[in-house]
Amino acid sequence: MSDVGPGQAVGGSVLREPVNRVSPQAVPFWTVSALIGDGLLVAGAALAWVLVPGVPGWAGLVVLLLAVLAVAHVVLMPRIRFRVHRWEVTDTAVHTREGWIGRQTRIAPISRVQTVDSRQGAVMRLFGLASITVTTASAAGPITIDCLDADVARHLVARLTAITAATPGDAT
């Protein structure tokens, strides 16, 4: 498994970006998820400012700043993540790139794959999305491909299962 940046040389060659985007439905999913989380945070801060006795008046400015940052997060983060997130599965490796502030590129040789799991939470189901987690024999942890169309995720799990079954080695 490698945490090599895009365009960096690996063994004398340049690493190309993974070719596949996540589902376009990822943008509204990430927007709703951020709206829920940020909304609860801002509402809790505002309630504390209003209901807790003795809170100084300048705390209202902190709540306002928190609200502005939350709006920026809800508006910008999903679109940036969609432009950055990529994935690719070949007969030899699983390759992902993710992030919205920082970037992480991960590559796992198929011979190191131990399990392939899919996950679809309640909100993901509303958007027809699923995520895949590829567990490898690595201390770096599993590789996750978030926000795939549910049908693409099912086919990818089947493909990865077939590829790993046909790959020699014991994934250790």
Domain that holds residue 33: 26-81
Q: For position 140, what pLDDT does the model report? A: 83
Model confidence band, residue 9 (pLDDT cutoffs 50, 70, 90): very low
Indicate whether 51 belongs to any domain. Answer: yes
Residue 94 has pLDDT above 60, yes or no: yes
Render pLDDT for 99-124 as a digit per residue (tens, 0 to 9): 888 899 999 999 889 999 999 999 99
Indicate whether 9 belongs to any domain. Answer: no
Indicate whether 49 belongs to any domain. Answer: yes
> Are the beta carbons of 123 and 32 closer than 8 angstroms?
yes
Our count of domains for the chain comes to 1
pTM of the model: 0.82
> Whole-number mean pLDDT of the chain?
88
Distance CA(100)–CA(79), nearest Å, equals 9
Q: CB under 8 Å, gap of 24 or more: what pairs does 17-22 form?
A: 17/86, 17/97, 18/86, 18/87, 18/88, 18/95, 18/96, 18/97, 19/86, 19/88, 20/86, 20/87, 20/88, 21/82, 21/85, 21/86, 22/82, 22/85, 22/86, 22/87, 22/145, 22/146, 22/147, 22/148
Indicate whether 86 belongs to any domain. Answer: no
Per the listing, tokens 């502005």 go with 68
Q: How many residues does the chain have?
A: 172
Indicate whether 70 belongs to any domain. Answer: yes
Indicate whether 72 belongs to any domain. Answer: yes
Indicate whether 154 belongs to any domain. Answer: no
Indicate whether 90 belongs to any domain. Answer: no
